[in-house]
Structure 1
Amino acid sequence: MSEIKVPDLGESITEGTIYKWLVKEGDSVGQGDVLAELETDKVNLEISAEESGVIAQILRQAGENVAVGEAIGIIGEAGAGAAGQAAAGGQSADAPKLPEPAKAAPAPEAPPAQPGGATAAAAAQEAQAAGGSAYLATPGARKLARERGIDLGEVGARDPIGRIGRADVDTHGAAPAAAPAPATAAAQSAPAVTPPPSAPKAEGKEVERKRMSRRRLTIASRLVEAQQTAAMLTTFNEVDMTAILDIRKRRKDAFKEKHDIGLGFMSFFTKAVVGALKAYPLLNAEIDGEDLLIKKFYDIGIAVSAKEGLVVPVVRDADRLSFPEIERRIADLASKARANTLALSDLQGGTFTITNGGVFGSLMSTPILNAPQVGILGMHKIQLRPIALDEETTVNRPMMYIALSYDHRIVDGSEAVSFLVKVKELLEDPEALLLEG
């Protein structure tokens, strides 16, 4: 018999949320089989079986938060019966030992205990002693109880270990109240799931309530934190993309044939950013207390939109990579991000970030810093615009607005503007990227 424990999740991550179980109690599993998916602040991880056996008990349900090292289930020996499963439950297996349900009542004047009441009370005491909730209930049961205003302490559980399920709350809610008010009959005829009292009322309109994922909550928290802790400003410029588009048009087929990867815009922008960071190193720094950490390496984060939210995998040592190597790294990281298979090592670190809102049609935006970094470059949509070459000549050119958000605590406006001008110059003269990027 062994416990299924939450593995070490990496530096700075101490807890996660069980996203879903891939097995159920009684299933046979082999060593290395994936048992559950765990959602963390940054990535989703798989929890695998450390030995073969039978899932004797699932201790924590989908949607519950769990800490590193916490047991979320138990694997018993193959062929173990129900008695073995009950024994594997630890303290919970001792809960239904009370001979008389009446003894579980908290006071003599309390109403008769419902079936399973003694079990629920014992399990609740056990959960409370372990630092958990006063009542042992599934997330679905808690949600339904909140929506209906039902006290879980009044709900009986049919589960042998005293866990209150959604069906228990549903059955309890259907029972007639002791002192019904005149409006009770109408209330009982309402739909089974109603908005909680705190929800805004929308008469005759449909409202969907959806729980935010752990990653989305983390993104929200970090973005607000970045705005509250950094003196963030944004400066803008525009780039004539004629030269880059011409190179891509002439070279893309040969590039693809030789390197088996397409020649995109990101390799040009990554090289331009590296060249500008070398010229203006404070954009490649971070604040550590009263000190500045000016980094002499160039790990460039590339923002990628995934199903669960924006992630920023890192292209390591971008200054040492060729154009095809950069394109290949970015394509690989983007593919892993969309397949939700990024490792924590793919996301950690990073000295500067590039984000491309242009792929969604954005003409201009003000990107938010990816703390503790002090600079982020925003790319945007390429659009034909009339450009005056001189007093008499106007031509249409493919132009892109670029934006640099920076932390004014350590980067002055003149340095930020000069950095962005440097990026512009390198992009408009791609041959210079070979020398400075």
Structure 2
Amino acid sequence: MSDIKIPEMGESIVEGTISKWHVKEGDQVGQGDVLAELETDKVNMEISAEQSGVVEKILRQEGETVSVGESIGVIGAGSGGAAKPAASAGGSGQENAPSQQKEEPAKAAAEATTAPESNKETAGDSSSYNASPAVRKLARERGIDLSRITPSDPLGRIREEDIKAYADGGQKPVASAPAAAAPSAPAASEPGKPVERRKMSRRRVTIANRLVEAQRTAAMLTTFNEVDMTAILDIRKRRKEDFHKKHDVGLGFMSFFTKAVVGALKAYPLLNAEIQGDEIVVKNYYDIGIAVSAKEGLVVPVVRQADTLSFAQIEKQIGSLAEKARSNSLALNDLQGGTFTITNGGVFGSLLSTPILNAPQVGILGMHKIQLRPVAIDEETTVNRPMMYVALSYDHRIVDGAEAVRFLVTLKQLLEDPESLLLEG
């Protein structure tokens, strides 16, 4: 017999949320089979069986918060009362299995659209709320519906003190809060009006908190410039087929921008720094974060030692990291560190934006849509050129405006003369 325990996940991660069980009590499993999926603040991970046997007990349910080292189930020896789920080793075959769909009422309830709110979970059926078994028991004993509790925890966990405060009349129902906060907004809790209430994922809560914290702690300012993309487009047009044949990867824009960012950071190193107390830590290495939009929200995997990589190596790393992000298979090491970030809103059609700093970094570059615009070549000549607005958000506490502007000018010069990137490499 062995416990199914939450493994160590890195120094900065001490807990997570069980997002999905791939097995149920009585299932036969083999060593290495995927038992459950765990969602943490940064990455999703799979929990595998350390021995073969039968799942005798599941101690923690989907949606519950668990800590590193905690036992969430028990595997014993013997034959199971149910067949082993199909393709449990890989996990992919289980997601659409009919038996597994029946085993997820809590998840289905959390995602369902209901109207009005009174049709949500009752105190006797609260498994989808982020609360421990002890908190749920307390709510049942006092006849309290967890859907009416406003968590005091920033990560959305309902605690015993929240239950007691509600029971003592110190906390008002969730439904009454929107009307007081925004009287001009449509009343989501109005009887008979259709609404949908979605619980924020752990990662979305973390992203929200980090973005607010970045704006609260940094003196953030954004400066803009525009880049004539004619030369880069010309190189890509002439070289993309040979480049793909030789390196088995496409020649995109990100390798040009990554190289140009490294060159500009070398010229203006304070944008490759961070603040620690009353010290400025200038980093003499270039680990560039590339913002990627994933299902659960924005993630920023890191291309390490970008100054030492070729164009092909950068493109391959970015492609690999983006695929990992989309398949929820990023490792913690893929996200840690980073000295500067690039985000490309242009892939979604954004013409101009002000990116938010990825703390503790003090600089982030925003790329945007390439658009033909008339450009004056001289007093008499105007031509249409493929132009891109670029935005640099920076922490004004250590980066002066003049330095930020010069950084963008250097970036512009490098991109408009792509051959100079070879010298910067």
CA distance in 1, matches of 2:242, 2:211: 42
Deviation (angstroms), 1:145 = 3.0
Q: 1:303-353 CA distances to partner (integer Å, 9 max, x unpaired)?
A: 000111100000010000001010011001101110111110000000000
Q: 1:100-153 CA distances to partner (integer Å, 9 max, x unpaired)?
A: xxxxxxxxxxxxxxxxxxxx9xxxxxxx9x994261789xx999933589xxxx
Identify the residue that residue 320 of structure 1 maps to in structure 2. 308
Identify the residue that residue 106 of structure 2 maps to in structure 1. none
Identify the residue that residue 44 of structure 2 maps to in structure 1. 44
| Structure 1 residues 271-420: aligned runs within 5 Å | 271-420=259-408
1:61 lines up with 2:100 in the alignment:
no
Q: Is the 8 A contact 1:6 1:70 kept in 2?
A: yes
Deviation (angstroms), 1:198 = 5.3
CA distance in 2, matches of 1:131, 1:377: 45
Gap regions ≥5 residues in structure 2:
82-123, 125-130, 150-173, 179-187
Identify the residue that residue 229 of structure 2 maps to in structure 1. 241
Identify the residue that residue 70 of structure 2 maps to in structure 1. 70
Q: Is the 8 A contact 1:15 1:66 kept in 2?
A: yes
Assess, with a 3 A threshold, how the Cα gap between structure 1 residues 379 and 205 changes in structure 2: closer, same or farther. Answer: same
Q: Which moved more, 1:200-209 or 1:60-69?
A: 200-209
Letter in 2 for 1:324: A
Q: 1:170-215 CA distances to partner (integer Å, 9 max, x unpaired)?
A: xxxxxxxxxxxxxxxxxxxxxxxxx956574235431001111111
CA distance in 2, matches of 1:270, 1:284: 13
CA distance in 2, matches of 1:380, 1:55: 51
CA distance in 2, matches of 1:77, 1:259: 50
Identify the residue that residue 7 of structure 1 maps to in structure 2. 7
Assess, with a 3 A threshold, how the Cα gap between structure 1 residues 347 and 366 changes in structure 2: closer, same or farther. Answer: same
CA distance in 1, matches of 2:269, 2:146: 53
CA distance in 1, matches of 2:396, 2:409: 17
Identify the residue that residue 242 of structure 2 maps to in structure 1. 254
CA distance in 2, matches of 1:341, 1:143: 41
CA distance in 2, matches of 1:146, 1:421: 55
Which stretches of structure 1, 4 residues or longer, exceed 4 Å deviation after superposition? Answer: 141-144, 195-199
**Count of residue pairs brought into register by the alignment:** 345
Assess, with a 3 A threshold, how the Cα gap between structure 1 residues 56 and 332 changes in structure 2: closer, same or farther. Answer: same
CA distance in 2, matches of 1:142, 1:343: 42
Secondary structure of the corresponding residue to residue 135 of structure 1: helix
Q: Is the 8 A contact 1:363 1:380 kept in 2?
A: yes
Deviation (angstroms), 1:30 = 1.1
Identify the residue that residue 106 of structure 1 maps to in structure 2. none
Assess, with a 3 A threshold, how the Cα gap between structure 1 residues 196 and 413 changes in structure 2: closer, same or farther. Answer: closer
CA distance in 2, matches of 1:143, 1:429: 70
Secondary structure of the corresponding residue to residue 342 of structure 1: coil
CA distance in 2, matches of 1:421, 1:143: 64
CA distance in 1, matches of 2:263, 2:148: 60
Q: Which moved more, 1:202-211 or 1:6-15?
A: 202-211
Letter in 2 for 1:11: E
Deviation (angstroms), 1:79 = 3.7
Secondary structure of the corresponding residue to residue 3 of structure 1: strand
Q: 1:138-169 CA distances to partner (integer Å, 9 max, x unpaired)?
A: 9xx999933589xxxxxxxxxxxxxxxxxxxx
Q: Is the 8 A contact 1:7 1:68 kept in 2?
A: yes
TM-score (norm 1): 0.75
Residue among 257, 270, 273 paired with 1:269? 257
Residue among 104, 129, 135 paired with 1:133? 135
Secondary structure of the corresponding residue to residue 4 of structure 1: strand
Gap regions ≥5 residues in structure 1:
82-119, 121-127, 150-194
